[in-house]
Amino acid sequence: MSVFVSGANGFIALHIVSDLLKLGYKVIGSVRSQEKADQLHRQFKNPNLSVVIVENISNPGAFDELFLKYGKDIKVVLHTASPFHYNTENCERDLLNPAVNGTRNILESIKRYAFDSVERVVITSSDAAVTSFKDDTNPNNLLTEDSWNKISWEEATRGPEEAYYGAKTFAERAAHDFWKENQDKVKFKLSTVNPVWVFGPQLFDENALGEVNTSCQYIKAIIDSKMGEKLDMDIVGGYVDVRDVSKAHMVAFQKEESIGRRLVLCAGRFTLLNIADVLCESFPQLAGKIASGNPDESFKRLNSLAKFDYTNTNKILDFDFIPFEKTICDTAAQMLKMEKRQ
Ligand code: NDP
């Protein structure tokens, strides 16, 4: 039996693939090109990993060939592929449609070709599907696993950031709706993993060179900043380590308690000043040389955030999250090593 991971070369997915292989699973991963497939084979060097090409998850029938060929062998599907960037002038084409159509397409292909073999499906959703930025920065709000971002499609087309929130919200909704509507037609049980901002080291050192994935790029930008520059105090939210996000995906398909659940992962709250402070304390070569911010403003921002209670998730996970300092240090140490700035 195999586990299928879509977007297998992504920041989070690489950790997932690595954990699956360590646990002895056979893994089929999808990437967008032969070049990326070759890179995965070179990086993992593991005969239990097969790589297939799905050029664009948004295309109708994008996953058909894959499930037609391997569907009978696939018991678990981890759908991580989804655009996470703000680099677009066409929000529907580049963010909303791939996220939503990609999710529908993979579920449709399972229904068509692997309805009786796939037992568990995990969608990598986001806290963007749990709350809007506005609701997350309202101290009177209490967020739980039952909270939903109430964004409309129209609001989601107003700009790339809104589009990312909308993409994750509508994609996750599509998955729940599909599962409800097809209970008698598919065998699989659905779970979602909804992380807040994910930081942590790249699985492979070489991936820490140059521009990195969207969330870790915020840490890289601080490392590369200059004294006198000001940190963006509007960047505030929750953090969780990529190694914990990967572990949560294992829990999402391995435990019965995860069925039908949204596992919302949040280890704590941060501002960019909190990141800069850890960097200055831990890396003498950065102390006093990078961007800074006002500590009172940072404190005020943290105190203006919504409360959250993800006790149900934490009970199911049954492990402690990696602390903020370790996450930030491990992320930065790898970047500095690769840039030969140790
Ligand atoms: P990455 O950008 O590293 O990975 C995204 C993956 O999706 C890549 O493999 C990418 O392929 C693939 N992908 C994107 N669009 C398409 C498309 N149209 N067709 C085929 N493949 C596509 O991001 P992360 O690892 O950070 O994110 C993984 C998942 O986790 C996403 O669903 C994201 O929304 C979610 N998430 C991430 C958070 C974070 O802070 N990092 C927080 C919460 C949720 P390629 O490399 O070729 O572009």
Enter the tokens of residue 335: 């970047």
The model's pLDDT over 244-286, given as tens digits with 9 standing for 90+, comes to: 999 999 999 999 999 999 999 999 999 999 999 999 999 999 9
Q: Give the chain's residues under pLDDT 50.
A: none
Does the C-beta of 213 come closer than 6 Å to ligand 1?
yes
Helix residue spans in the chain (DSSP H) = 11-22, 34-44, 64-70, 91, 97-113, 133-136, 153-156, 160-181, 214-223, 242-254, 272-282, 295-303, 311-317, 324-338
Enter the tokens of residue 151: 């964004």
Kindly tell me the burial class for residue 307, based on how many C-beta atoms sit within 10 Å of its own C-beta (0-12, 13-18, 19 or more). exposed
In whole angstroms, what is the distance from residue 90 CA to residue 163 CA? 10
Q: Return the pLDDT at 342.
A: 79
Domain boundaries, the chain: 2-201+238-268+308-321
Atom of ligand 1 nearest to the CA of 215: 40
Classified by CATH at the fold level, domain 2-201+238-268+308-321 comes out as: Rossmann fold (3.40.50)
Does the C-beta of 238 come closer than 6 Å to ligand 1?
no
Is residue 267 within 8 A of residue 239, CB to CB? The reply is yes
Q: Return the pLDDT at 79.
A: 99
Q: Return the pLDDT at 326.
A: 98
In whole angstroms, what is the distance from residue 222 CA to residue 175 CA? 36
Element (H, E) at 197: strand 197-199
Interval between CA 12 and ligand 1 midpoint (Å) = 8
Interval between CA 259 and ligand 1 midpoint (Å) = 23
In whole angstroms, what is the distance from residue 32 CA to residue 199 CA? 24
Backbone φ and ψ of 140, nearest 5° = -85, -10
Interval between CA 323 and ligand 1 midpoint (Å) = 24
Predicted-complex ipTM score: 0.99
What pairing do the DSSP bridges indicate for beta strands 236-241 and 268-271? antiparallel
